[in-house]
Structure 1
């Protein structure tokens, strides 16, 4: 049993036939020579609901990145405050 790799654009067009054109999953799978299982996986990945999930995922990863950066910058600020206080008290 060989695995056939389909290009991403092929998968997106197959999903559009189901979601936008209204064809059944079985019909599209038979016509394109794929399995219904593969087509359902593509719908999950490239379908209309996947777009909102991808946007939410991108937003949450951006929030996580910003929180890490805020923590790092806060630590740097605190270190600089301590260094400034040290050098202000030692006028050597």
Structure 2
């Protein structure tokens, strides 16, 4: 299996900016760097939607995605605490009779 190519944020921005400036087409740039046309097209779409934050980098999330992850983790912790409190309340109610 061929190794997947990885490109940094600055490189992707350069490619997209060339395309948006009309200096090259997405298919030409895709052939030049050796990736499928749809990859470059997706970079352009993401850049048009999110600007320079479209390519957060490996292991990094966009701020809103990071916030969602944090809130999901917090929700899971609160649900777990709630279950513990329910069990404790049931235990103490049983022992008071």
What TM-score results when the alignment is normalised by the length of structure 1?
A: 0.47
What TM-score results when the alignment is normalised by the length of structure 2?
A: 0.45
Larger Rg, first or second structure (1 or 2):
1
| Higher helix fraction (1 or 2) | 1
